[in-house]
Amino acid sequence: MPIQPIDKNRMHALQQTLLQKAMPPGSLGELAALAIRIALITPRPVSRLSLLIFAGDHGIVEEGVTHSPQEITWQQCLNFAKGGGACGLFARAHGVDLTVVDMGVAHQFLPSDGVLDRKIGMGTRNFLREDAMDAKQCLLAMQCGRLLVRQKKQAGFDAIAFGEMGVGNTSSASAIASALTCLKVDSVTGRGSGLSDCDLKAKCDVIELALKRNPVRTPLGVLAAFGGFEIAAMVGAIIEAAALSLPTLLDGFITTAAAVVSCAIEPNCKEYLIPAHLSGMQGHDLLLDYLGLPRPILDLGMQLGEGTGALTAWPIVSQASRILTEMTSFSHAGVTDSTSLLREKGIF
């Protein structure tokens, strides 16, 4: 299903509706712009958010790009599925549906663990030595992401967000980002879980060597060569969300790297993306600029992943989506139309 571009011809009518609300023009600032952006995607207020946390392990950890032991991936998946972690807390606080999806964790979960089994492999291969995935695995992961979004839409959710869990996935995201944007590796590579200056340089060197080993620069080729199963699932999920006209709350660096791939495949995807926050992770601002997205809703220095930035921004998004349809106008409120008075004086 091709992604339809947003109908920008509706912009003027929405702006006029906003000016009829019982408040001075411009007084809601960026919140009003967000309200219009959401209204261009969907005509109704959004009230039901589903967060899909995709998880997978990465062969690149063999190169010492992180200090975190790989077992943290499956341990955190169990934690999240039980309602733990920041993502579990925030989802519970805001009534958000949270689903943990095993796309390729190097662990065998039990049915009772509460982790959705969509496993494609026991982690990707070491992308310094060989492609992380083959083309079939990559497409299968994307299709899994698309199907899950479709199911959430059918279940009545009207907004979607994605999180990720996977030790080593910042290296995959940085490699993808550099390959597709031509940004320098060190500009889109951060310390992850606390690397020293020396460790960070070694991480950048590994990514540089991997990019030289494999010069492929097509979107799907880059995703298969350097990505993770969870990143590929997000790529498909972002495309499907756009195809279904679902407002998509974009989380941090890794999800934005996935969005770079999605938008390279389907450029109209970016019109359905709502940047939730500016991550503290190196290069996130550069990726948002590359995609030409509006300023993120929040800037709190967060860099946890798990979809926590999207969860934190969700109440603001839901609130903004109600402004155009539920806020009283001057006429309904019986309030003097100050906007018209300003126009008469030539001030507005």
Averaged pLDDT for residues 137-155: 98
Q: Are 55 and 166 in contact (CB under 8 A)?
A: yes
Question: What single string gives the DSSP state of each residue in 26-43?
Answer: TTTTHHHHHHHHHHHH-S
**Summary mean pLDDT of the chain:** 96
Distance CA 20, CA 59 (A): 56
Q: Which residues are catalytic?
A: 306
347 — pLDDT class (breaks 50, 70, 90): confident
Q: Is the pLDDT of residue 2 over 80?
A: no
The fraction of the chain above a pLDDT of 90, given in percent, is 90
Q: Is the pLDDT of residue 81 over 70?
A: yes
pLDDT score for 193: 76
Averaged pLDDT for residues 190-202: 90
Distances (CA, A) of 152 to 10, 137, 240: 27, 23, 11
Q: Is the pLDDT of residue 348 over 90?
A: no
pLDDT score for 155: 98
Averaged pLDDT for residues 46-67: 97
pLDDT score for 284: 98
339 — pLDDT class (breaks 50, 70, 90): confident
Q: Is the pLDDT of residue 335 over 80?
A: yes
18 — pLDDT class (breaks 50, 70, 90): very high
Q: Is the pLDDT of residue 1 over 70?
A: no
pLDDT digits (tens, 9 = 90+) for 312-328: 999 999 999 999 999 99
Which domains are assigned to the chain? Answer: 8-43+323-344 (no CATH), 49-318 (3.40.50.10210)
Q: Is the pLDDT of residue 203 over 90?
A: yes
Distances (CA, A) of 41 to 31, 191, 288, 292, 309: 16, 35, 19, 17, 21
Q: Are 73 and 166 in contact (CB under 8 A)?
A: yes
Q: Is the pLDDT of residue 224 over 90?
A: yes
Averaged pLDDT for residues 115-120: 98
Averaged pLDDT for residues 6-28: 92
Averaged pLDDT for residues 166-193: 96
pLDDT digits (tens, 9 = 90+) for 240-259: 999 999 999 999 999 999 99
Residue with tokens 């026991």: 122
Using DSSP's 3-state secondary structure scheme, residue 66 falls into: coil
Distance CA 132, CA 173 (A): 12
pLDDT score for 159: 98
pLDDT score for 322: 98
Averaged pLDDT for residues 39-54: 97
Report pTM.
0.96
DSSP E strands: which ranges in the chain? 49-56, 97-104, 116-117, 159-165, 248-250, 273-275
137 — pLDDT class (breaks 50, 70, 90): very high
Averaged pLDDT for residues 7-36: 93
Averaged pLDDT for residues 28-50: 96
Averaged pLDDT for residues 126-131: 98
pLDDT digits (tens, 9 = 90+) for 284-300: 999 999 999 999 999 99
pLDDT score for 52: 98
